[in-house]
């Protein structure tokens, strides 16, 4: 039945595309910074070579990627030549040190060939992603080796352009995550945040604490279904994901959620709680009152040991510490926490939370990491090197100014626009009534720096779309919830505000949905756009 629905929708989509096939607009997502077109096509032929600048030899992986793209789209096998790139009537990759942005690129297609320039490998990679979108889909009725004459100068608006997956709630296999990376990289997302720990499961092997995966990775059921659910990543699994992501210019951000969302920890090591007892991995959505104790030295030793192993897996400079939805009831009742407050002259538990993260930050500094955190207003203060995520469905303008006033850097992941686990239409998630509907248009209406002047928004470092996993049991559902809404977010993350246009975006969408189908990505059909 599901396959039938996709086939029916695909047929409708192809018909819609044919009606719009005469559009002269190039359908590039995200919209490039500068784009000029002229009449004509460059025709890729069998005798063409791909010349790689000998002064840019480190871009050979990208040259191989471009070679594979041409083979896939045209069935033409071009050879790679490491020679000067001033040849005409061919394909060239060259270094241009005048391109200041490390992810920026220039793409020229004219009667002399295809010429791609960047100062760094990332720029070449993103230029190839743009080039891939220029090849026609089958129903456009154009020769697949004809590429339109154009000139593109492009670079991203934000450095941090992320999506998030939640394998803590429902484990996702390594190959599934790689497939997700493939799709997101093609739309110029450069960070994948993995929510690896929560009340419902611990998903990362920590060799010093084997019970985390032996006990903490398995829950006895989900929402009363009586079916055990488990799974975890070995350290080698995660290293393989990191390596694969790097080849796609995606950096993996791991999250070890603390001090709340820790029932999977306490089920394995209950003495880390304020009041030790027998705990179980959570089986239903919701927020537990149980926190790891902020007054026990062994809790900080536990986190240092965990962070030490995590740092060995993930070589980047960032570690997400969670920090959200941590009710303070247990700390108010706990003699260890109250004694710590007295010793450090802390007059409330909100200040104890700030103290907790200050201690964790000292651990991070040892491993050359900086903290990322979900922003909570009631936390007295955060370490000054923190980057916080705006996420709560409260007034985003007020919260943004609050974050700015605290001198923190910010990632905008405002839930009403970027939480892709939210339903895309009423009834999309049966029996879940509290989530607001987030359709494609609402996703496109997202303004990451809303209400801020250009000279007053530099503390906003990027955006993130989140696919929380309570109701996302597998990668197919993750794709369904992510796309096409992530296409809207990619344009908000990469393109300048002057290049935003909902009407143009809608016209571009058809080609990209066909490309997603061809990659086996089962998106949610935006039927409301085609029935207006």
In the prediction, which pLDDT does 220 show? 97
In the prediction, which pLDDT does 49 show? 95
For the residues of 361-411, what is the DSSP string, one character each?
HHHHHHTT-EEEEE--TTSS---TT-EEEE-SSS-HHHHHHHHHHTT-EEE
201 φ, ψ to 5°? 165, 145
What the block records as the tokens of 372 is 């990322």
- For 115, the 3-state DSSP assignment is strand
- Would 34-154 and 160-502 be classified into the same CATH topology? no
Return the active site residues: 325
In the prediction, which pLDDT does 454 show? 80
Strands 201-202 and 387-390: what pairing?
Answer: unpaired
For the residues of 282-295, what is the DSSP string, one character each?
--SSS--S--B-SS
In the prediction, which pLDDT does 7 show? 42
* Binned average pLDDT, 10 residues per bin, the chain of 532 residues: 46 46 72 97 95 96 98 96 73 97 98 97 99 90 93 98 99 99 99 99 99 99 96 99 99 99 99 98 96 99 99 97 97 99 97 98 98 95 96 92 95 98 90 90 97 88 98 98 99 97 96 95 90 65
What the block records as the tokens of 14 is 């192809």
The domain locations on the chain are 34-154, 160-502
For the residues of 426-479, what is the DSSP string, one character each?
TTSSTT--SSPP--HHHHHT--TTTT--GGG-TTEEEEEEEE-STT--SHHHHH
34-154 carries CATH number 3.30.379.10: yes
- CATH no. for 160-502: 3.20.20.80
């Amino acid at each position: 039945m599901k396959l039938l629905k996709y086939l029916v929708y695909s047929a409708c989509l192809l018909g819609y595309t044919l009606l719009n096939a005469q559009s002269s607009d190039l359908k590039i997502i995200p919209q490039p910074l500068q784009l000029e077109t002229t009449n004509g096509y460059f025709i890729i032929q069998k005798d063409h070579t791909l010349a790689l600048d000998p002064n840019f030899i480190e871009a050979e992986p990208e040259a191989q990627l471009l070679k594979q793209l041409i083979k896939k789209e045209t069935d033409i096998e071009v050879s790679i030549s490491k020679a000067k790139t001033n040849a005409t009537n061919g394909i060239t990759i060259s270094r241009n040190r005048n391109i200041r942005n490390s992810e920026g690129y220039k793409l020229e297609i004219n009667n002399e060939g295809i010429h791609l320039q960047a100062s760094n490998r990332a720029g070449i990679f993103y230029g190839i992603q743009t080039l891939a979108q220029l090849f026609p889909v089958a129903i456009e009725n154009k020769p697949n080796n004809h590429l339109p004459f154009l000139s593109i100068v492009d670079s991203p608006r934000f450095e941090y352009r992320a999506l998030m997956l939640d394998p803590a709630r429902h484990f996702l296999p390594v190959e599934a995550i790689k497939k997700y990376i493939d799709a997101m990289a093609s739309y110029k997302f450069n960070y994948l945040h993995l929510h690896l720990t929560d009340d419902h499961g611990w998903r990362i092997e920590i060799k010093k604490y084997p019970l985390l995966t032996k006990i903490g990775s398995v829950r006895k059921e989900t929402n009363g279904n009586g079916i055990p659910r488990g799974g975890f990543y070995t350290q080698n699994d995660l290293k393989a994901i990191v390596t694969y992501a790097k080849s796609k210019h995606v950096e993996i951000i791991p999250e070890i959620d603390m001090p709340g969302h820790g029932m999977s920890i306490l089920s394995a090591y209950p003495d880390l709680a304020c009041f030790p007892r027998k705990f179980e991995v959570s089986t239903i959505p919701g927020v537990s009152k149980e926190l790891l104790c902020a007054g026990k030295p062994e809790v900080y030793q536990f986190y240092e040991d965990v962070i030490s192993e995590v740092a060995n897996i993930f070589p980047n400079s960032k570690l997400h510490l969670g920090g959200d939805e941590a009710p303070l009831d247990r700390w108010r009742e706990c003699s260890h926490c109250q004694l710590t407050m007295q010793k450090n002259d802390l007059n409330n538990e909100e200040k104890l939370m700030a103290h907790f993260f200050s201690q964790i930050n000292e651990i991070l500094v040892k491993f050359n990491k900086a903290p990322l955190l979900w922003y909570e207003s009631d936390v007295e203060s955060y370490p000054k090197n923190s980057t916080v995520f705006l996420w709560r469905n409260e007034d985003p303008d007020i919260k943004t100014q609050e974050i700015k006033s605290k001198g923190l850097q910010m990632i905008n992941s405002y839930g009403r626009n970027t939480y892709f686990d939210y339903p895309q239409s009423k009834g999309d998630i049966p029996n879940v009534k509290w989530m607001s509907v987030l359709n494609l248009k609402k996703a496109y209406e997202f303004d990451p720096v809303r209400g801020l002047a250009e000279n007053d928004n530099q503390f906003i470092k990027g955006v993130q779309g989140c696919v929380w996993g309570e109701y996302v049991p597998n990668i197919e559902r993750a794709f369904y919830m992510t796309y096409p809404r992530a296409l809207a977010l990619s344009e908000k993350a990469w393109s300048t505000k002057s290049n935003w246009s909902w009407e143009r975006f809608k016209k571009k969408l058809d080609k990209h949905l066909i490309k997603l189908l061809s990659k086996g990505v089962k998106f949610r059909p935006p039927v409301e756009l085609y029935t207006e």
